[in-house]
């Protein structure tokens, strides 16, 4: 299925009338009465989840009688003094932001926190537009709710900004509050992580599938939105694009509703495959960060790594997708931006520098969840199943797909089993027995080993 651009012509600053017409259109599609506002709720307040809700608030929030935008995050997360000091510096370096806080009578608490006279909380500062994972990019003020039931019970559109590792648990809780609902909400998942399960057979589980399992919401009401985007740059109106994937009933009207002059939205029917590819690039981004640090940003070494990791991604997509060629552009674009500026590449750099350690876990202060770590585990353990074995091209013996992906295998042994230090990623690249990346791509093209059940699909 080709991607479709949501056809809406607009200037750099869309007239308020056109924005309101777009809001009215999605309200009609969702069957909203004139006196009933469209309720949009973000669940999870990481960088991308917060930015996404802030963009909707800025674009549609002025139509208060027609739409309500709010975001849920857990309460009680205290901010340490060093973060409060940094936050104070950000505030005082931007006159417009400083004036806004003074007008809202909110400035004094940041002074007190800077002096150590009070404690600030993550939900408290989010109301003023500060996402804990993105302090240096202040957002517009947001309506923040810390009670999950209050946030979601009457939501029409829910934006999942949670990491994959938390999605099932939170939506399982949410399902308790939706038991009496007549109309199912529409859910747009932004999560790019994946998990794996092995019973009754090996398969990848994506966040949209977790949401379906947890809530029983019809699959046609659950969509995925992803693209090669850095949250802070999208909020600062750098040109960006994304794909909303899922049922035609919802992806087309929602694509038009979400589109802005700097944020172009295509729509596509292939939800699960795009979602999985969004998780796959995080795997190799961590290794790219390690290589960049260990080689002192050697362009040659980074290009060698890129050649090997892209050949492995192509190989893996042939296992997971019936028409993998259609994923090449989106996957490479998403990989490229993640290697340049994503949190997973940053994490790999910090590990290689010794500034972070695996013992610190994969939820990092100021960055949030590093979803590439769990994705390494999921992809390797899934592709290392003997039921997927194929013949080794040279040795003629059966091997699992994971055995033909030396970068993925080494990342697993560094990050998950912790057998090796970060330096081992260079040893894997320099291994004289490693095949030409082209050969792995040739294997992918010459073997018909698409396994639809790996994504929970019927053969």
Encode pLDDT of 292-335 as tens digits.
Answer: 999 999 999 999 999 888 888 888 888 877 766 666 666 677 77
- pLDDT surpasses 70 at 389: yes
> Does 401 or 339 have the greater pLDDT score?
401
CA angle 298, 300, 304 (to 5 degrees): 115
Segment 370-390 mean pLDDT: 90
Question: According to the model, what pLDDT value does residue 376 have?
Answer: 95
Q: Enumerate residues 6+ apart whose C-beta is below 8 A from 347.
A: 286, 289, 356, 362, 364, 367, 370, 372, 373
Q: Enumerate residues 6+ apart whose C-beta is below 8 A from 382.
A: 196, 198, 202, 203, 204, 454
Segment 214-231 mean pLDDT: 93
Segment 403-407 mean pLDDT: 91
CB 402, CB 413: distance < 8 Å: no
Every domain of the chain with CATH number 3.40.50.720 lies at 26-75+144-269
Question: According to the model, what pLDDT value does residue 8 have?
Answer: 40
Question: According to the model, what pLDDT value does residue 10 have?
Answer: 42
Question: According to the model, what pLDDT value does residue 458 have?
Answer: 52
Task: Give the chain's end-to-end CA distance (angstroms, integer).
Answer: 18
Place of tokens 């970068």: 407
CA dist., res. 283 & res. 381, Å (int): 13
Quick one: what percent of the chain has pLDDT higher than 90? 65
The region, left, alpha or beta by phi > 0 then psi within -120 to 50, assigned to residue 64 is alpha
| Tokens encoding 361 | 């876990």
pLDDT in tens, 10-26: 434 457 889 999 999 99
Enumerate the β-bridge partners of residue 70: 41
Segment 385-410 mean pLDDT: 85
| Tokens encoding 40 | 């949009």
Segment 43-56 mean pLDDT: 96
> Does 301 or 447 have the greater pLDDT score?
301
Question: According to the model, what pLDDT value does residue 315 have?
Answer: 85
pLDDT grade, residue 444 (50/70/90)? Answer: low
* Residues involved in catalysis: 281
CA dist., res. 331 & res. 328, Å (int): 5
> Does 217 or 436 have the greater pLDDT score?
217
Q: Enumerate residues 6+ apart whose C-beta is below 8 A from 23.
A: 38, 60, 63, 66, 67, 257
Question: According to the model, what pLDDT value does residue 313 have?
Answer: 87
CB 235, CB 51: distance < 8 Å: yes
For the chain, how are helix, strand and coil distributed in percent, rounded to 5? 50, 15, 35
Please give the C-alpha separations between residue 387 and each of 37, 198, 199, 313, 455, in angstroms, as whole numbers: 52, 11, 13, 20, 15
The total number of residues written for the chain in this structure: 459
CA dist., res. 450 & res. 325, Å (int): 13
**Torsion angles phi and psi, residue 421, rounded to 5:** -85, 175
Segment 134-149 mean pLDDT: 96
- pLDDT surpasses 50 at 406: yes
pLDDT grade, residue 7 (50/70/90)? Answer: very low
Question: According to the model, what pLDDT value does residue 11 have?
Answer: 38
CA angle 433, 439, 443 (to 5 degrees): 120
Quick one: what percent of the chain has pLDDT higher than 70? 90
- pLDDT surpasses 90 at 37: yes
Highest-scoring range by mean pLDDT, 215-229, 261-275, 445-459: 215-229
> Does 145 or 457 have the greater pLDDT score?
145
Please count the other Cβ atoms lying within 10 Å of the Cβ belonging to residue 54: 26
CA dist., res. 127 & res. 125, Å (int): 5
Q: Any idea which fold 280-455 has?
A: 1.10.1040
Strand ranges for 183-239 from DSSP E: 186-189, 195-197, 203-205, 222-226
CA dist., res. 160 & res. 48, Å (int): 10
Enumerate the β-bridge partners of residue 245: 224, 268
Question: According to the model, what pLDDT value does residue 448 have?
Answer: 56
pLDDT in tens, 175-220: 999 998 889 999 999 998 888 888 878 888 999 999 999 999 999 9
Burial class of residue 116 (count of CB atoms within 10 Å of its CB; 0-12, 13-18, 19+): exposed
Every domain of the chain with CATH number 1.10.1040.10 lies at 280-455
pLDDT grade, residue 447 (50/70/90)? Answer: low
pLDDT in tens, 91-138: 999 999 999 999 999 999 999 999 999 999 999 999 999 999 999 999
Max alpha carbon distance in the chain (Å)? 73
Quote the mean pLDDT of the chain: 89
- pLDDT surpasses 90 at 71: yes
CATH class of 26-75+144-269: alpha beta
**Model pTM greater than 0.85?**
yes
Task: Judge if the upstream peptide bond of residue 200 is cis by omega within 30 degrees of 0.
Answer: yes
* Core vs surface per residue 237-261: b (16+ CB within 10 A) or e: eeebbbbbbbbeebbbbbbbbbbbe
Place of tokens 């893996």: 316
Segment 224-253 mean pLDDT: 92
- The sign of the dihedral angle between the CA atoms of 129, 349, 263, 220 is negative
């Amino acid at each position: 299925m080709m991607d479709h651009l949501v056809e809406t012509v607009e200037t750099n600053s869309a007239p308020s009338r056109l924005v309101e017409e777009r809001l009215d259109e999605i309200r009609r599609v969702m069957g909203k009465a004139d006196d009933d506002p469209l309720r949009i709720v973000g669940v999870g307040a990481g960088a991308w989840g917060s930015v996404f809700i802030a963009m909707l608030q800025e674009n549609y929030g002025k139509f208060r009688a027609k739409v309500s935008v709010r975001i849920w995050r857990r309460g009680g997360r205290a901010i340490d003094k060093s973060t409060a000091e940094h936050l104070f510096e950000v505030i005082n370096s931007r006159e417009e932001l400083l004036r806004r806080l003074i007008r809202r009578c909110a400035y004094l608490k940041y002074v007190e926190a800077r002096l150590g006279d009070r404690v600030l909380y993550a939900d408290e500062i989010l109301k003023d537009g500060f996402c804990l994972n993105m302090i240096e990019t202040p957002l517009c003020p947001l309506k923040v709710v810390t009670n999950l039931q209050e946030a979601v019970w009457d939501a029409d559109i829910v934006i999942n900004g949670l990491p994959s590792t938390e999605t099932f648990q939170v939506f399982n809780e949410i399902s308790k509050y939706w038991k009496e609902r007549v109309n199912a909400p529409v859910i747009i998942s932004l999560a790019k992580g994946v998990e794996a399960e092995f019973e009754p057979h090996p398969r990848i589980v994506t966040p949209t599938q977790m949401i379906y399992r947890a809530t029983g919401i019809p699959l046609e009401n659950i969509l995925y939105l992803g693209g090669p985007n850095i949250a802070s740059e999208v909020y600062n109106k750098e040109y960006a694009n994304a794909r909303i994937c899922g049922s035609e009933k919802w992806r087309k009207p929602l694509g038009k509703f979400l589109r802005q002059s700097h944020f172009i939205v295509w729509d596509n029917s292939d939800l699960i495959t795009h979602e999985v590819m969004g998780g796959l690039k995080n795997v190799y981004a961590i290794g790219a960060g390690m290589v960049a640090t260990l080689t002192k940003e050697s362009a040659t070494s980074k290009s060698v790594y890129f050649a090997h990791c892209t050949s492995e991604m192509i190989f893996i997509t042939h296992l997971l997708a019936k028409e993998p060629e259609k994923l090449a552009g989106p996957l490479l674009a998403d990989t490229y931006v993640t290697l340049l500026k994503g949190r997973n590449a940053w994490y790999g750099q910090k590990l290689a520098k010794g500034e972070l350690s695996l013992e610190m876990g994969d939820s990092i202060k100021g960055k949030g969840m590093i979803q590439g770590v769990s994705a390494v585990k999921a992809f390797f353990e899934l592709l290392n199943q003997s039921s997927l074995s194929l013949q080794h091209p040279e040795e003629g013996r059966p091997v699992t797909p994971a055995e033909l992906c030396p970068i993925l295998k080494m990342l697993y042994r560094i990050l998950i089993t912790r057998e090796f230090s970060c330096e081992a990623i260079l040893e894997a690249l320099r291994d004289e027995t490693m095949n030409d990346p082209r050969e792995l791509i040739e294997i992918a093209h010459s073997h018909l080993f698409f396994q639809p059940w790996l994504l929970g699909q019927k053969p």
